[in-house]
Amino acid sequence: MPTPAKGPRLGGGASHERLMLANLSAALFEHKRITTTVTKAKRLKPYAERLVTFAKRGDLASRRRVLGLISDKGIVHELFTDIAQAVENRNGGYTRITKIGNRKGDNAPMAVIELVLEPVSAKQAVVAEATQAAAKAAPAAEEAPAEAEVVETEAAESKYAGSKPATADNVAPEGFAVKGNEDSMKFHVPGSRWYDSTVAEVWFDSAESAEAAGFAPAGGDAAQAGDAE
């Protein structure tokens, strides 16, 4: 006897297992809920939900395929009409398993497997819509920091007239050689006494622009008598 692909078989062989699952599915579709062992319920769940999927398709080929497994035409008719219509708005999860304890005698774990025929609640619909909206909004949210960074940079560049923001390497941008210190509100022109040892917090294109922004010459005009650009 060949080994089954997943777990032990129900019954004595493959054909016996298929017959058991077909009979359990027929009983489930007829009574909407049945009590069986946990093992059988777990094996029945994907089998029965696959038949429900065929019923939702509703075409002749699907009906013939189900009739090849369940011979009772009345049950098949109910599956393709009532049950398929009840789960029309569901994308899966057509059955529910609830454990109910162990059976007296052999102590086998028991469960109730039932069809989920309740209409999809408004809350579930809202959650689904919110999930889709969040997925659509995710790319825009990822782009937002970049846009904010651009705005912040533009604001920094326009903070003082004739200025540029500080550079990480303390190298003067082209055309902006005057160093400004915002803590002391002083500026240093190239060639001045403390120019080389000063780290620029803002760069100005000229001493006049620095003074217009409220910065004073570090050490007075005499100390800043270098070659201002």
Residue 5 lies in a domain: no
Q: What's the mean pLDDT when you consider all of the chain?
A: 82
Task: Match 């008719």 to its residue by tokens.
Answer: 77
Question: Are 19 and 113 members of one domain?
Answer: yes
Q: What is the mean pLDDT of residues 179-207?
A: 85
The pLDDT, as a whole number, for residue 218 is: 83
Residue 222 lies in a domain: no
Question: Are 128 and 169 members of one domain?
Answer: no
- Percent of the chain surpassing pLDDT 70: 80
Residue 141 lies in a domain: yes
Question: Are 112 and 61 members of one domain?
Answer: yes
CA atoms of 171 and 158, how far apart (whole Å): 19
Residue 228 lies in a domain: no
Q: Is the pLDDT of residue 95 over 80?
A: yes
Question: Are 25 and 114 members of one domain?
Answer: yes
| pLDDT tens readout for residues 129-162 | 677 777 777 665 555 555 555 444 444 455 788 8
Question: Are 83 and 73 members of one domain?
Answer: yes
The pLDDT, as a whole number, for residue 138 is: 67
Task: Match 């080389």 to its residue by tokens.
Answer: 196
CATH code for position 38 = 3.90.1030.10
Residue 131 lies in a domain: yes
Q: Is the pLDDT of residue 229 over 50?
A: no
Residue 37 lies in a domain: yes
Question: Are 20 and 115 members of one domain?
Answer: yes
Residue 129's domain spans which residues? 121-155
| Overall domain count for the chain | 3
Residue 1 lies in a domain: no
The pLDDT, as a whole number, for residue 186 is: 87
Q: What is the mean pLDDT of residues 171-195?
A: 85
Question: Are 187 and 114 members of one domain?
Answer: no
Q: What is the mean pLDDT of residues 178-206?
A: 85
